[in-house]
Amino acid sequence: MKNKTSLVLMEQLIMLLVFALAAAVCLKVFAYASNVSSKNEAVAQAAVLAQNCAEKLKRSCGESAEEYQTEIGEWNYRVEVLKTESGSDVLGCATIVVYGEYRNSEEKLLELSVAWQEVDTDA
């Protein structure tokens, strides 16, 4: 009788061990899913910020090219404008880069190239 009880106890312990391993994997996957979802949301937000910045650049013909920061939800965004050479006098070019900071780690979320027609001030 004693042997049978010990066997049940052993079986339960093995069961708990296997479960602990499976639960650890599951929790890791949950955390990963949460991070991926949060990043996807941030990339969508970064696209809107980059689009707004592109509209500002086109409106001002590249004059409003300063870097700015904004906090939306849990993410802190930094929008950077890098002017590039288009190879033409009538075409202005820039690259908008949006960085996102989440839990003290910053990463590049999006890069968008933008071009506009330069206004001829002599005309």
Partner 1 sequence: MNKEQYEYKINRLLALLLFAIYAVCILLVLLTGANLYKKLTLKNQNSYAQRTAIQYFTTRVRQNDKADAIDVCQFGEADALILKEQIQGKEYETLIYCYDGYLREIFSSSVKTFSPKDGNIIIEMKSLILEKENGTIYAEITDQEGTVQRVELLLRSGKEVLSEK
Interface characters, 54-93, with partner 1 (x: CB under 8 A): -xx-xx------------xx--------------------
Nearer to partner 1, 47 or 101 (CB): 47
Residues 109 and 56: their CA atoms lie apart, in Å, by 20
Residue 119 DSSP symbol: P
Q: Give 1's DSSP letter.
A: -
In angstroms, the Cα distances linking 97 to 33, 72, 94 are 25, 17, 10
Cα three-residue angle 72-77-82, rounded to 5 degrees:
145
Residue from 19, 82, 90, 91 touching partner 1 (CB under 8 A): that is 19
Please name the residue that has the structure tokens 């910045």. 53
Among 21, 28, 52, 84, binds partner 1 (CB under 8 A): 52
**Residues at the contact surface with partner 1, assessed by CB under 8 A:** 1-2, 5-6, 8-9, 12-13, 15-16, 19-20, 23, 26-27, 30, 33-34, 37, 40-41, 44-45, 48, 51-52, 55-56, 58-59, 72-73
